[in-house]
Structure 1
Amino acid sequence: MDTSSLHPTQRFSDRVDNYVKYRPSYPQAIVAYLRETIHLNRKSGIADIGSGTGIFTEILLKHGFTVTGVEPNEAMRQAGENYLSHFHHFTSRDGRAEATGLPDHSIDLVTAAQAFHWMEPAATRKEFFRILKPGGHVLLVWNVRLLDTPFLKAVDDLKRQRGKNYDAIHGSHADEPSIQSFFAPADIRQKSFRHDQIMDYDALLGQMLSSSYMPQEGQPGYEDMIADLGEIFQRYNENGAVHMEYETKLFLGQLPTP
C-alpha cells in the first residue's frame, strides 16, 4: 500500500499521550531470539527506525544494548526522549527511514516496530543497506491484534465501522508479500510470540484513541464510537477488565547488495 497520502510523519501528533500510556509493549523473548539467531550482544550497534515514543526501544535498552532512535514526528520523538532519558546508552535523532542521517556502515541491527508499513520500501531498503555493517540484519516487528474471541472481533468491527482508512492501514501491517519483496532475493526468518494486555475501560478507550485512523473528540463519529465502545466493554468485561490479545510477528533478514 502507498501510504504517502496519509501523512505518516504527522498523523500521530495529536495522539501521543494515549500512545505512551496505552499501546502494548513487546515480548521480552524477542531479545533472547536475537541473541540466539544473530548473536546480538552489547557491542552491537542498533538503530530503531520509527522509534516513536520508545516502546520497542525500551526493551533493547533494558537489556543493555546501545540504541539510536530515529523518528520524524517531533511530538513522538520528544515523548520518547523524555521517557528514555534515564538510559545513558540511548541517543535520539530526527530522521526518516529513507534518510536517517546515520553514518555509512555503522549499524549491526536495524529495527522497525509497528512502523515499516509507513515507509517507502525502495528508498528505505537503499538507506538501510547504506547504514548497515557488512553482515548486518534488519528486524521488522508488529503486534497483530487477534480476532479469535467475541470481544476481539467486536473491537475490530468497531474500528472498521468508525475508523477512517482502517482496512487500508490495518491491512498493510505485517503484509508478508511486501516484506518478502523488501528482502528479496534473500531469505528471511519468521518468528511469532503470543502477547496480551489486561485493560480497564480507560485503557481500552485510550488505546482506541491512539490509533491514527480513529476520530478524536470533536470530530465526526467520535460520540458514536464512544457509545459503541462502552457497549462492548459492558458486554465483555470480567471484573472490570478485558483481555486484548496479539500475535507478535518478527521478520529477520539481511539485505542483498543493491
Structure 2
Amino acid sequence: MHVQRFSGRAADYLKGRPPYPEAVVDELERHGLAPGSQVVDIGAGTGAATLLFLRRGYRVIAIEPNEEMRAAALGFGIDARPGAGEDTGLPDACADLVLCAQAFHWMDQPRAWAEFQRIARPGALIALLWNNRVQAGTAFLEELEALLHRHAIEDIAWAERIEKRRWPGMQEAHFPNSQRLDFEGLLARIASMSWMPRSGTPEHARMADDLRRLFERHQRGGQVEMPYDCVLYWTRRP
C-alpha cells in the first residue's frame, strides 16, 4: 500500500469523508452474512466502514498500515492493528467477511487478493467497497472537477485509476449516497484526497481560496451537496 500518501490527512478524513450507507450491510446479509460474525476491515483508515459494521453488532478487526489513521480509529475504541492488505498478520481462516473499503486500488492486488482468501473461512464473503464521487450533472460538480484538476499535485488520471472488477465471479450492487457539507467540511473532503495539497501548505491555501469562491457561488443555506455512487463488489471464498 501507499502508506505515507495519507500521513497528515487523518483530521481531514474524519471531518470530510462520507460514511457508507446501511444498505451495504443489508446487501451482504441478504447474501448470507450472519449478524454478529467476524469481519476484517483491511486498509481501514480512520474506521468509517468498521464503525458501520460495529453499529450493527458485528465483531470487527481493522487492519491499517498508516500510524496516524490507525490512531484515529483507536480513538473510537476500534480494534485497529498494524498490517497491510498484502500481509495482515492474521491467522488462516479467521474471517466471515473480508472487507476492503476505499483501499484496494492502492494495494499490490494479486498479493492482497491471495491474503484475503487466506484469512477468509471457507464460504466467507470477500467484499470491495468504494464511495465514488459523482463528477458531473450539476454546475457545482463540474466546476469542482475543474478545480481539482487545477490544484492536483499529481496526475488525477493515475491517482483515480482503479481496477475494481478484476477478480472472477464478483457480483456488484450500487447505492446512492450523499453529503451535505458546509465550507469547512467541503475543504476537509477535498484535502483528504491523497493527490490534493495537504493542509498547512501554500498550495493548500491557494486551493482553499479557489474552493471558497466556488462554494459561495453554489451554496444553499450554507451547504453544498456531494453525491456518491457507492459501489459494492463481493464474492464468496470456495
Q: Equivalent residues in 2 for 1:37-48 (5 A)?
A: 37=31, 39-48=32-41
Give the whole-Å Cα distance in 2 for the aligned partners of 1:179 and 1:208.
22
Which sits farther off after the overlay, 161-170 or 212-221? Answer: 212-221
Give the whole-Å Cα distance in 2 for the aligned partners of 1:115 and 1:55.
12
Do the aligned residues in 2 keep the contact of 1:114 with 1:143 (CA within 8 Å)? yes
Aligned residue type for 1:124: A
Q: Are 1:80 and 2:70 an aligned pair?
A: no
Do the aligned residues in 2 keep the contact of 1:61 with 1:67 (CA within 8 Å)? yes
Q: What is the CA RMSD across the aligned residues, in angstroms?
A: 1.5
Give the whole-Å Cα distance in 2 for the aligned partners of 1:92 and 1:235.
41
> Deviations 1:128-168 (Å, cap 9, x if unpaired)?
11111111121111111112211111111111121122221
Task: Give the TM-score normalised by the residue count of structure 2.
Answer: 0.94
Q: Equivalent residues in 2 for 1:1-258 (5 A)?
A: 8-37=2-31, 39-83=32-76, 85=77, 90-146=78-134, 147-165=136-154, 166-172=156-162, 178-181=163-166, 183-184=167-168, 187-217=169-199, 219=201, 221-255=203-237
Do the aligned residues in 1 keep the contact of 2:41 with 2:61 (CA within 8 Å)? yes
Q: Helix, strand or coil for the counterpart of 2:142?
A: helix
How far residue 91 of structure 1 moved from its aligned partner, in angstroms, is: 2.1
Call closer, same or farther: CA 1:158–1:104 in 2, change over 3 Å: same
Give the whole-Å Cα distance in 2 for the aligned partners of 1:107 and 1:222.
40
Q: Helix, strand or coil for the counterpart of 1:11?
A: helix
Aligned residue type for 1:171: R
Task: Give the TM-score normalised by the residue count of structure 1.
Answer: 0.87
Do the aligned residues in 2 keep the contact of 1:25 with 1:55 (CA within 8 Å)? yes
Do the aligned residues in 1 keep the contact of 2:44 with 2:63 (CA within 8 Å)? yes
Give the whole-Å Cα distance in 2 for the aligned partners of 1:218 and 1:125.
36
Call closer, same or farther: CA 1:82–1:217 in 2, change over 3 Å: closer
How far residue 43 of structure 1 moved from its aligned partner, in angstroms, is: 4.2
Call closer, same or farther: CA 1:82–1:123 in 2, change over 3 Å: same
Partner of 1:175: none
How far residue 218 of structure 1 moved from its aligned partner, in angstroms, is: 5.2
How far residue 30 of structure 1 moved from its aligned partner, in angstroms, is: 1.0
Give the whole-Å Cα distance in 1 for the aligned partners of 2:222 and 2:116.
45
Q: State the 4+ residue runs in structure 1 displaced beyond 4 angstroms.
A: none
Q: Helix, strand or coil for the counterpart of 2:65?
A: coil
Sequence identity (%): 37
Do the aligned residues in 2 keep the contact of 1:160 with 1:167 (CA within 8 Å)? no
Q: Helix, strand or coil for the counterpart of 1:51?
A: coil
How far residue 255 of structure 1 moved from its aligned partner, in angstroms, is: 4.8
Give the whole-Å Cα distance in 2 for the aligned partners of 1:16 and 1:217.
11
Matched residues, number: 236
Unaligned runs of 5+ in 2: none
Unaligned runs of 5+ in 1: 173-177
